[in-house]
Each structure stands twice: as C-alpha cells, then as structure tokens.
Amino acid sequence: MPTATDAELVDLLTAGTLTPVGRLVNSSNGALLCSVQGPDCDAEPLLAIHKPESSERPLWDYPDGTLVARERAAYLVSTAGGFGVVPPTVLREGPFGPGSVQLWVGPLEGEREVLVDVTAAEAVPPGWLVVLEGETPEGEPVVVSHSPEPALRTVAVLDAVLNNSDRKGSHLMREGSIVRGCDHGVSLGVEPKLRTVLWGWAGDEILDADLARLDALGQALAGSLATDLAALLTVVEVAALRDRVSTLLATRRHPLPTPGWPAIPWPAL
C-alpha cells in the first residue's frame, strides 16, 4: 500500500491519469479497476475503483443525487471524524464520464483476512460475536459471526452515522491497524435503514475512542463540512446525518436493528 498521506492520495486520484485495467464483475453497478499514474512516470501507479455515474441503476429509496456522490460524502464524513474507515475517494471525469474514484485496498489476488464468516456453530472462532443463525439449503445449521476487535467496532459506529444499508463482510479490508470499509453508494438516506453484518455490539455502550470521533464529527458538521456535504446530498439528508450523530452522542450506545427493515444484507458475504 502507498505510504503517502490521504491529502496526497486525494490529489493523485484527482489529477492522475486513469487507465482501466479490469472490471469488478459482481458489482451491481459499473465498477472498473483502474491504474492511476501521477506525473512521475517512474513511480508505481496506484490501483483504484472507478464507478461511472452513467452506469448507476436508479434506486427508489435514493431518488435524489447520485450514488457516486454518496461515496465521496462518506469519505468526507469518515475523515472529518477521524474514523479512517473509507479509503480516499474523489469525484472526477473518467473513461466513461464523471464518477467516483476510490483507492483500492487489499490484495488483488489471494485470500483476504476474514473478518465476517459463515460457519457451523461449533466452528465460530473464540471470542467472535454471533449475529445470525440459519441453515444451509440442505438444512444444516450455520451462523454468521464477526471479529470482536475495536477496529471493526469503529466501522460499526461509522455505519450507524452513515445509515449504511449494505455493509457486507466482503466490503471490509485490513490495512495496518485499521479496518477499511468500501462501497457506500447506498448510504446517507433519511429513513433509518441500517443494514449490516456488524450487529455484535447492538445496544452496547460505544467505546470512548469512538465517542471522541463522533464528537469531532459533530463539531465538523457545525462548520464547513455541512457546506461540503450540501453539494453532494440533499438538505434533509445532511440534517438527518447531523441528527444521527447527536443521537449517538446522547445515547452513547450502538443502535438496535430497525423493526420492519431487513437487518442484514443479502448476500451477507
């Protein structure tokens, strides 16, 4: 992974030469794997995911704006609060028109570290938190569980802030001491639609370190961040974001699933 600062990475993602080298075939919207080359042609290019706005499928519950704008908004929120979860993300012109470009995190090939898994009940790793019990098509019992580590808990707090309705295990990648989360196009809506595989802390107290991040985000929303987000989201969506931050700071607890809304995305992994 690059050792540059986020600001330097944002500059490179914004101004670098974007060249498609592949496509994510399982993406519901168009997603191209691209190399990003800076002015120093001898330097190793970055890898990034480019999502063209023109490839988006309209979603009935996100009638305003674009999904790629929400990708950028999620990055701004993550950065303003010091969560460090969303990889550097910009909006720019690409090979198929305007869209988002997000730094690729994790290996291109090989196995990633498993942070969320589906196993038999007796195979759940020690200390892991079970969030769903089910069965295979053959009727064998299985459970969905996830790691209990604080870095993943920080992701869960940010997802509650973003009202993320599509947090799957495949969206989570280790990067050093933090866990990165990608794919936030269906986030930042007004109605409570948190849908995630990270329910292991539902109702528990939020850790002090994450409360500090929420407080920093609240202060940022009282300043220029709200203006930046207003260019990406609707006024009511920015107001709902501010309300979610205030509620989490007041309750100091992870939220519970919303009745009447699927709590876990499918497929979960």
DSSP state of 83: -
Statement: residue 1 has pLDDT above 50: no
First to last CA, the chain: 24
pLDDT at 228 over 50: yes
Rounded-to-integer distance, Cα 33 and Cα 164, Å = 23
**3-state DSSP call for residue 33?**
strand
Q: Which amino acid is at 127?
A: G
Determine the pLDDT at residue 2.
47
- The predicted-structure confidence for 106-153, as pLDDT tens digits, reads as follows 876 767 789 999 999 999 999 999 999 988 888 889 999 999 999 999
Query: Hey, what are 44's tokens?
Result: 């190793």
pLDDT in tens, 181-199: 999 999 999 999 999 999 9
Instruction: State pTM to two decimals.
Output: 0.94
